[in-house]
Amino acid sequence: MGRDVTLDPVHFEGITQLARRITQSVDETDQTEFVETVWDEFLDPLVDDDGRTVLCPLGEQRRCEVPIEDVALRDAEYPTCHGLDSGTINPTTFKNGLVLDVAQAAMASTPSELDLHRDRTVVITAHTNDRTTDLDDGWTKWDEGHTDRRILQAPRVSSFEESVVHELSLYLAESHHAIEHAESVSDLFVLDGPIYPKGMLNWADRAPELANLLYDEEEPRDVIANYVELVETFADRQIPLVGFVKNPSTKAITRALRASGREAPWVNDTAFFTKVLEQVEFADRTGPDGETYRERERRTDVLTFTNWFRSRGGADRLLAADADAFGVERTLDPVDYEVTFFPIYDPRDDLLYRVEAPYAFTKNAECRERLAMQLLRDVAAERGPPLAVEKADELARIGADETESLRTELEATFATDRLRSYNDRRWGVDAPAGEEF
């Protein structure tokens, strides 16, 4: 039986003293000065070591703030908003060699539409080493026509099986559901996450075997084609499509700086923009051991944000105008598919969000302004994603108890056990699923 293990007070104080030594060796004043230098001198435009532009501002480069209470009470820029999300049980490996994931996608709206909320898309993606097996039987209807479901056979790989089944399930369910219900959207459509399947696009940089799938296999290209079609559909209808990224982890800026020989001290672009947008003051304090340290005080009554940027670095380069989009046909001007974004910093929770949209919409200055004010209003009022996205997240989420029950049922169906690890015993059904994509 497990027991809680706590640090003794003497150990706690010892760790704190060590941490203060680290603080003394990391001068935040220098970092603040460098972040201002990068902001002022390197982003208009930011180029990589090959001279290719990877980031540039749309319109004037600027930092802005809005009082949280005031912007939360603004009238919505768009009368209705639809959100979409997809959730999975996380990859599951069975002793018979089968690896699969199950994804469920749902759409929600504000104001609510109960019939729409009932609809689902369910995808099971399976990886098997049996070359005689063909599991894919196309889309079928279920639940009196309210659910589209499909079994997808993943391309065979010698490693990364869990990544493949997870990404294919997640993004096929999301993109199919979005396309099937696009006509339900009348004013604004917000994906819970980026506007393209970033986890899958990152295969291009993870390993040659994964990168080859993007170019050689039909299944991932079909998923990418769905997102391209989504941009075209909403551009044709002149209804903005945006992505609300709750945990952005891009590294285009930090990589470009390091490639140019400059030591960027931030882990990723989220840390950089947080430093750009956070408003803090410092005061000297004395600790119990008599040592002096600096205490930070953050202003928490305003949301801060920047202008929109066009992004052509990292995974965003793969859908840029000068890329071939893995051979997927595009009907719009290639530049219209490029990713644009702006960050929103919420000091109440010390969180930075990234709002994405295709250039097809943000090339219009008025549209950029309306989208920014709509999303700022939502973040201020909801202290997080827009309400429609939160609803979609609740609808699509597959809970821990449901996941465990489903996995148990699958064991019985396959007449085999799932392959367990020590973490299953240690953490139970809420065990960490491994690397996030």
Residue 161 lies inside a defined structural domain of this protein:
yes
Residue 95 lies inside a defined structural domain of this protein:
yes
Residue range 301-318: average pLDDT?
97
Residue 152 lies inside a defined structural domain of this protein:
yes
Q: Say which residues have a Cβ less than 8 Å from residue 103's Cβ, sequence separation at least 6.
A: 86, 87, 88, 122, 123, 124, 125, 169, 170, 172, 173, 174
Report the domain count for the chain: 1
Residue range 256-268: average pLDDT?
88
Asked which of 48-52, 84-88, 154-158, 323-327 is least confident by mean pLDDT, the reply is 48-52
> For every residue of the chain, which 3-state class applies, written as one string?
CCCCCCCCHHHHHHHHHHHHHHHHHCCHHHHHHHHHHHHHHCCCCEECCCCCEEEEECCCCCEEEEEHHHHHCCCCCCCCEEEEEEEECCCEEECCCCEEEEEEEEEEEECCCHHHHHCEEEEEEEECCCCCCCCCCCCEEECCCCEEEEEEECCCCCCCHHHHHHHHHHHHHHHHHHHHCHHHCCCCEEEECCCCCHHHHCHHHHCHHHHHHHHHCHHHHHHHHHHHHHHHHHHHHCCCEEEEECCCCCCHHHHHHHHCCCCCCCCCHHHHHHHHHCCEEEEEEECCCCCEEEEEEECCCEEEEECCEEECCHHHHHHCCCCCHHHCCCCCCHHHHCEEEEEEEECCCCEEEEEEEEHHHHCCHHHHHHHHHHHHHHHHHHCCCCHHHHHHHHHHCCCHHHHHHHHHHHHHHHCCCECCCHHHHHHHHHCCCCCCC
Percent of the chain at pLDDT exceeding 70: 92
Chain centroid to Cα 360, Å, comes to 20
Residue 140 lies inside a defined structural domain of this protein:
yes
Residue 435 lies inside a defined structural domain of this protein:
no
Neighbours of 250 (CB within 10 A): 24
Residue 264 lies inside a defined structural domain of this protein:
no
Residue range 7-26: average pLDDT?
70
Most confident of 11-20, 383-392, 401-410: 383-392
Residue type, 274: T
The range of the structural domain enclosing residue 142 comes to: 66-252+302-430
Residue 79 lies inside a defined structural domain of this protein:
yes
pLDDT above 90 for 133: no
Q: Say which residues have a Cβ less than 8 Å from residue 389's Cβ, sequence separation at least 6.
A: 83, 84, 85, 108, 190, 191, 192, 244
pLDDT above 90 for 264: no
Whole-number mean pLDDT of the chain?
90
What is the maximum alpha-carbon separation in the chain? Answer: 72
pLDDT above 70 for 437: no
Residue range 200-211: average pLDDT?
96
Predicted confidence band of residue 431 (pLDDT cuts 50, 70, 90): very low
pLDDT at 294: 72
Residue range 304-324: average pLDDT?
97
- Report the candidate in 162, 166, 86 with the shortest Cα–Cα distance to residue 122: 86
> Which two structure tokens, joined as six digits, stand for 376?
């700022």
pLDDT at 281: 80
- pLDDT, tens digit, 9 for 90 and up, residues 217-231: 999 999 999 999 999
pLDDT at 426: 62
- pLDDT, tens digit, 9 for 90 and up, residues 73-108: 999 999 999 999 999 999 999 998 899 999 999 999
Asked which of 64-68, 92-96, 375-379 is least confident by mean pLDDT, the reply is 92-96
User: Whole-model pTM?
Assistant: 0.91
pLDDT at 435: 36
- Report the candidate in 60, 59, 62, 57 with the shortest Cα–Cα distance to residue 312: 57
pLDDT at 243: 98
Residue 15 lies inside a defined structural domain of this protein:
no
Q: Say which residues have a Cβ less than 8 Å from residue 51's Cβ, sequence separation at least 6.
A: none
